[in-house]
Structure 1
């Protein structure tokens, strides 16, 4: 599907669009998966949380792609610890398998447990999120539209994928602030945001036109 033109939408408008997907899922008797993607610092996790709040209790749950970060021990053994966050530092096959399970899930079936990434320890933890009878699963992450590896298999099970568009200056400001909030000194935060994060952002931007919706979230 060709992407729509870039549109400016409020939280309430995005909640309304997500609610329609949730309603379709309830009618079909099977969960639907909504993807939210964009470069680092674009606001993916913030939007996912806003959708959860707006949709109300029991309607949606967030399953982050970041739960499939490879552990620091694995990255160190592979010599890629200093590139953590790059596309090859994730378990894309594991992520695709989980998305498939979630898209096939019907009400009343046992919960599905998903891993969760904890920024305070910079590690994924197993079974951090329980998916029960919520009709909508919101999954957010950098590489939802990537064309290689197992990423297309995950994308194929998503009802829609939204790409968050944000001016680079503001996105980089947010990234630096986030890195500092989790303990990086300012020079290190700036170096990571303009180095590893920026290389990843350029790769992600190349997938932008494959989204169902490109949105400036206001």
Structure 2
């Protein structure tokens, strides 16, 4: 992780918003107990989850926080290629939720010297195993992903492992523009990126937005 927060996190409006400063202050207070805190950050595709997670990592420091993205549990392309899942990559049933739950349970127990978590590499569009080290000494684990509040079997167990879940509240037009730009950055041409964002991503977004009332905090973003 970078040693300074990304530009979006350093934006004065984002940092000065009372809901954001209150959320960070509350997190600091919880960490004072010495217990490990598992913080979930959720929201629709393009809402800024990874940006906020990276910003929090920079604010708290590498010795205090580590980011473990849910995206590390995407089903591999070898599994979904040639199936209907390929056209819905990113939908809730294209993740190994059992594997993700097992990881969260290990992280919550905090009884191993280090736990290795997978990451997702957008440049190759694949998860990569054992790419993130989480030492037992690190008290704050930040995990970000689309479906942390989903009211479905196993996903409810995922929610139970998390001490708090924050929901990203981002204007739809801004979220969509960010999403298209991200798809283009990682290899799609713009028409294909716009089609994917308005199709598969938007279908996922509608489902994710329905989980918003279950969040502990709503985080405004700009």
Q: Same fold (TM over 0.5)?
A: yes
Q: Which residue of 2 aligns with 1:138?
A: 142
The answer on whether the counterparts of 2:20 and 2:219 sit within 8 Å (CA) in structure 1 is no
The question of 1:65 aligning with 2:65 is answered no
Counterparts of 1:7-156 in structure 2 under 5 Å? 8-9=17-18, 12-24=21-33, 26=34, 28=35, 31-106=36-111, 109-132=112-135, 133-156=137-160
The question of 1:216 aligning with 2:220 is answered yes
Q: Which residue of 2 aligns with 1:5?
A: none
Local SS of the residue matching 1:124: strand
> Which protein has greater RCO, CA pairs closer than 8 Å, 6+ apart?
1
What is the rounded CA distance, in whole Å, between the counterparts of 2:44 and 2:119 in structure 1?
A: 19
Which moves more between the two structures, 167-176 or 8-17?
Answer: 8-17
The answer on whether the counterparts of 2:20 and 2:220 sit within 8 Å (CA) in structure 1 is no
The answer on whether the counterparts of 1:11 and 1:50 sit within 8 Å (CA) in structure 2 is no
Change (3 A) 1:199 1:17: same
Displacement of 1:16 in angstroms is: 2.4
Unaligned runs of 5+ in 2: 1-16
Unaligned runs of 5+ in 1: 1-7
The answer on whether the counterparts of 1:116 and 1:126 sit within 8 Å (CA) in structure 2 is yes
Local SS of the residue matching 1:152: helix
Structure 1 residues 49-96: Cα deviation after superposition (integer angstroms, max 9, x where no partner): 000111123111000000000001101254311110000000011111
Change (3 A) 1:84 1:170: same
TM-score normalised to the size of structure 1? 0.89
Aligned residues: 205
What is the rounded CA distance, in whole Å, between the counterparts of 2:22 and 2:61 in structure 1?
A: 15
